[in-house]
Structure 1
C-alpha cells in the first residue's frame, strides 16, 4: 500500500516559517551565550565598550551647569547607592572642585567627558588629543589621577577617537540604554526608557542642568533595578577581565 503526502503552497510556507523561526531562535541564544562585552571597534583596533556581561552600570554625564549635579548626588546618597560612574568634562570639574571631591569621597568612579564640549568627529586627531590631555591635566590638579575611561562629549566618535584614546591609555565608553533624560520628557517616561535594562547594560543619564527631571526620576529607575535583583557596579567593574565583540567603526 502506498501513502502519499500532499502539501499545498500555504502548508509549505507555514512549515518554512516554523523552521526559520526555530533556526533564528537557536542562533540568537548561541550568540547571546558567547557575547561578553560588546564593543564598537575597528576590525583589529581599539574598542569602545557599550555593554557588559552581567550586573548594570549607571553613568551620568556632566558637561555644564551649576544646579543639577548636587541633587542627583543627594538622591544617590538617600538611596544608598555605592556604585556609579560620572563622566565629567574637565572645564566643568575645574569650576566645581567641591562636587568633584564629593563624587570621589562617596566612592563613585570618574571618567572624562573631554575638556570642552566638542564633537570629536568634527576634529582632527591633534585636536582630539589636545582636548583629552587638557581634561586629564585638569583632573590631576584636582588630585583625580589614573582615569582610564572616557566618553566623547557629544557621544559621537569614529576611528580617530578610538585610536587617540587608546594611545593615551583610555577606554571609550558608550551605552546600551539611553534614558533621554536631557529631553525632559517626564519622570515616568524616563523610567520607561530605562525599564528594559537588563544584566550587562550601561545606562546613560545626565546631571547637567539640561536634565531637569533626572533627580526626581532616579528613585523610580532604582526601584525597577532593585526589583530585577540587578547589582549596580561601576563601568570599570563591569568590564574588568571581560572579552569583547566588535563592530566596525569607520
Structure 2
C-alpha cells in the first residue's frame, strides 16, 4: 500500500513538471513573437519595421490625386516640420515629377509605395517584383537616389513581399499608429487617433486626394507630438536605436 502511494506521488510530480514546462514553453514562444529585434533580417527571415526607439516618424502615403499633396507640404513647412517620410507610388511620381522633386529637395525622405495601388498580399511573387521594379525605374529616371524603403500599397503584406523587397535591397516599413485620416472622420478624430503616439512610433497619414481633412488636423497633432520627441525620417529612426519588427505568416 505504501509502495502504491509513493508511485502515485511520483506520478503526480511528473505530471506537474510536464504542465509547468509546457506553460513556460508557451510563454517563451509568445514572448519571442512580440519581442523587438535590432535587425530587419532575423534567423526566422526578413521582417517589416513598425516601431523604433528614438524619435517620432511622420509618414505620408501618396497613391493618387492632384489636390492634397501640395497643401500638406506647405503646411509642414509652415509648422517647421523638417523631417518626414513620404511613400509615393511610382505612377503618382511619374505623373507629378515636379512635386516629387520638391518633396526630395525639401529634405523629406522618399520611400516606394509600389507602382500601382494594388494589394501585394493577393499577387504572385513575380507580379510583386514587376510592380516594384517598375516603380524603382521611375525614381531612377527622376534621379532620386538612395531610396531604401518600401511600404505595401494597401498596407497588406506577407513574408513573400518582405523577401522580394529585401532581395531588391529594400526594407518594408509598416506603422504603429494609424490616423485613419483617409476615412475623413473629422479633424478632431484624426487628432485623437494620432495623439497617443510617443517616442519610437511611426505614424500613418495620407496626402492623396482621399484624405480631405489631414491638413487641417496637422497643427494640433504637431503641437502635441513636439513635446514627446523629435520628428525624424524612417532612416533616422532606424539609425537611432533598435527597431521593432512585425511577424508575418
How far apart, CA to CA, are the structure 2 residues paired with 1:231 and 1:244? 16
Q: How does the TM-score come out when normalised to structure 1? A: 0.82
Residue 141 of structure 1 corresponds to 141
Distance 2:160 2:57 in 1: 26
Counterpart in the other structure of 1:239: 238
TM-score (norm 2): 0.82
Looking at structure 2, the residues matched to 38 and 196 of structure 1 have their Cα atoms a distance apart, in angstroms, of: 24
Corresponding residue of 1:92: 92
Conserved? CA contact 2:51–2:243, under 8 Å: no
Report if aligned partners of 1:183, 1:211 keep a CA contact under 8 Å in 2: yes
CA RMSD of aligned residues (A): 2.2
Question: Does the 8 Å contact 1:66/1:209 carry over to 2?
Answer: yes
User: Counterpart in 2 of 1:182?
Assistant: 182
When residues 156 and 39 of structure 1 are mapped into structure 2, their CA distance, relative to the original with a 3 A threshold, is farther
Classify the secondary structure of the residue corresponding to 1:155: coil
Alignment partners' CA distance in 2, 1:214 and 1:176:
18
**SS of 2:215's equivalent?**
helix
Aligned residues: 218
Supply the distance in 2 between the matched residues of 1:227 and 1:241 (Cα, whole angstroms).
Answer: 18
CA contact 1:112–1:151 (8 Å) conserved in 2 = yes
Instruction: Could you list the structure 1 runs, at least 4 aligned residues long, displaced by more than 6 angstroms after superposition.
Output: 38-42
DSSP-derived class of the 1:219 partner: helix
Q: In the TM superposition, what is the alpha-carbon distance from 1:242 to its structure 2 partner?
A: 3.8
Question: 2:61 aligns to what?
Answer: 61
Q: After TM superposition, give the deviation of residue 83 of structure 1 in Å.
A: 0.1
Separation (CA, whole Å) in 2 of partners of 1:223 and 1:198: 13
Which whole-Å deviations, capped at 9, do the CAs of 1:173-192 have from their partners, x for residues lacking one?
Answer: 00000000000011111000
Do the aligned residues in 1 keep the contact of 2:191 with 2:221 (CA within 8 Å)? Answer: yes
5+ residue gaps, structure 1:
1-30
- Aligned partner of 1:14 in structure 2 is none
